[in-house]
Structure 1
């Protein structure tokens, strides 16, 4: 079955998260995803709050930019969340938007190297291993978590370019694709991630692909979708985003699933007039139509 979720966009103030998370939990939505775009809201703080306010909702963060985080601290945060809320935490990591990283003095010469070193070390630490590594960016001397999760959680990574997508297959447990990727792009991403997994001697079937789908519904849905695509420079990309009723959205979700997505996360437009209603729409109307 294709998993389904929705995004809490950081264009909303943090104080809106409580009502939206509770609405998602009450509606039976499977997943609520948060972002850590600079310079809006903390992904870890928001995820902890959303998890505490809810009972069964899975909460994802995609993406956490690794240049902003020391590997030990990032792994301690991941381990703590997973022990407090077992099987409800989904954390995705990426090399960050380079202009933002430059603004805060965290830009590195080789973002790919940093991301690979970060993923390798984090996965080992979450397995409870003692890690010593002297990498280009990640340096650990006999570090072991005192409170690792009972079961090592998946470590996800976001990517777009071919090299990054192969890296997610090699070094991560799943790939996160942003809303700028149409179904054909999902097929290509799945293929590249699988190539990376095979090169690393890993099993392709164990790799989850999570895709954001820009979605508008209700009054002026088509106009709101078009406006957002134009603002992002993606208006000329075919088959990108969806506007319409639940049946139309469910068909778009299925196209993503047919292209290789295991999880589809509906991303409302930045000017969505009713965020709580969007969450209920996803859970109550779209979910029953998605196999």
Structure 2
């Protein structure tokens, strides 16, 4: 069964979060995803608030840019979240937008090396291990959490390039694919992830989350066209968005699910006139049509 979610876009002011979360919770939405885009809203801060507003909604942070965060601090914050809200916090990490990393003095020469070192150390810390490592970027000396999670915490990786997709299979527990990833690109990404998993001898489930631009309502087509232009999707035939009623949106979700996505996260347009209404639309009208 495909998991269905939406995004609370950080272009909305933080004070809108509670109403959107409560609307999602009341409507029965499965997942709400948050972004840590510079320089908008903190991913783990908003995740903690969103989780506290609801008793059942899963909240994903997709993704945490690792150059911004010391790995020990991330481990402390993630462990706190998952102990406070068992089974409901979903965490993804990634390179971050390199221009933004440069703006804050955090850009590194080898983002791939950093992500490998960081993810390896983060997973070990969250397993409750005492970690000492002297990597190119990640250096820890006998660090262990006093309050580790009681169970393993999956760490997903955001990935676009071939090498990062292979790395996600090698060291990650799942992969987050950005909006603009069409079904054919999902299949190709899964092949690369699979190569990484095989090389590392990893088996078991690997979650695949993909963002899908979506809009509904009387102005849906116009808003999606503007959104595609904003994101640079020049080819009008590229299958990276959907505009229409619940049947059109559900059909699109099926295409991505058939390509291998285990979770399809519908990404509203930045100018959606009714964010609360969008989450209700997804939960109440699209979800019954998605197997």
Please give the TM-score of this superposition, normalised by the length of structure 2.
Answer: 0.98
| Residue of structure 2 in register with 1:195 after alignment | 195
Partners of 1:105 and 1:224 lie apart in 2 by 35
Q: How does 1:58-137 map to 2 (within 5 A)?
A: 58-137=58-137
Partners of 1:257 and 1:212 lie apart in 2 by 12
Partners of 2:80 and 2:136 lie apart in 1 by 27
Partners of 1:270 and 1:191 lie apart in 2 by 32
CA contact (8 A) 1:226 1:235 kept: no
Partners of 1:97 and 1:66 lie apart in 2 by 10
CA shift at 1:41, angstroms?
A: 0.4
Residues 213-255 of structure 1 show CA distances to partners (whole Å, capped at 9, x for unaligned) of: 1001001111110111011111316111100100110010000
Secondary structure in 2 aligned to 1:114? helix
| Residue of structure 2 in register with 1:164 after alignment | 164
CA shift at 1:129, angstroms?
A: 1.1
| Residue of structure 2 in register with 1:155 after alignment | 155
CA-atom RMSD, angstroms? 0.7
Bigger shift: residues 84-93 or 122-131:
122-131
Q: How does 1:15-54 map to 2 (within 5 A)?
A: 15-54=15-54
Large movers: runs of 4+ above 2 Å: none
Partners of 2:55 and 2:138 lie apart in 1 by 36
| Residue of structure 2 in register with 1:184 after alignment | 184
Partners of 2:205 and 2:288 lie apart in 1 by 26
Secondary structure in 2 aligned to 1:272? coil
Partners of 2:131 and 2:196 lie apart in 1 by 23
CA shift at 1:193, angstroms?
A: 0.6
Count of paired positions = 290
Partners of 1:200 and 1:69 lie apart in 2 by 26
Partners of 1:28 and 1:164 lie apart in 2 by 34
Partners of 2:196 and 2:205 lie apart in 1 by 13
CA contact (8 A) 1:3 1:263 kept: yes
| Residue of structure 1 in register with 2:234 after alignment | 235
Gaps of 5+ in 2: none
Partners of 1:48 and 1:101 lie apart in 2 by 24
| Residue of structure 1 in register with 2:284 after alignment | 284
CA shift at 1:180, angstroms?
A: 1.2
CA contact (8 A) 1:29 1:282 kept: yes
Bigger shift: residues 226-235 or 255-264:
226-235
Partners of 2:153 and 2:23 lie apart in 1 by 26
Secondary structure in 1 aligned to 2:208? strand
Secondary structure in 2 aligned to 1:61? strand
CA shift at 1:267, angstroms?
A: 0.3
Residue 214 (structure 1) aligned with residue 213 (structure 2): yes
CA contact (8 A) 1:215 1:249 kept: yes
Residues 156-199 of structure 1 show CA distances to partners (whole Å, capped at 9, x for unaligned) of: 11010111100110011000001110110110111111110110
Q: How does 1:133-144 map to 2 (within 5 A)?
A: 133-144=133-144
Gaps of 5+ in 1: none
| Residue of structure 2 in register with 1:274 after alignment | 274
Secondary structure in 1 aligned to 2:74? helix
Partners of 1:85 and 1:172 lie apart in 2 by 22
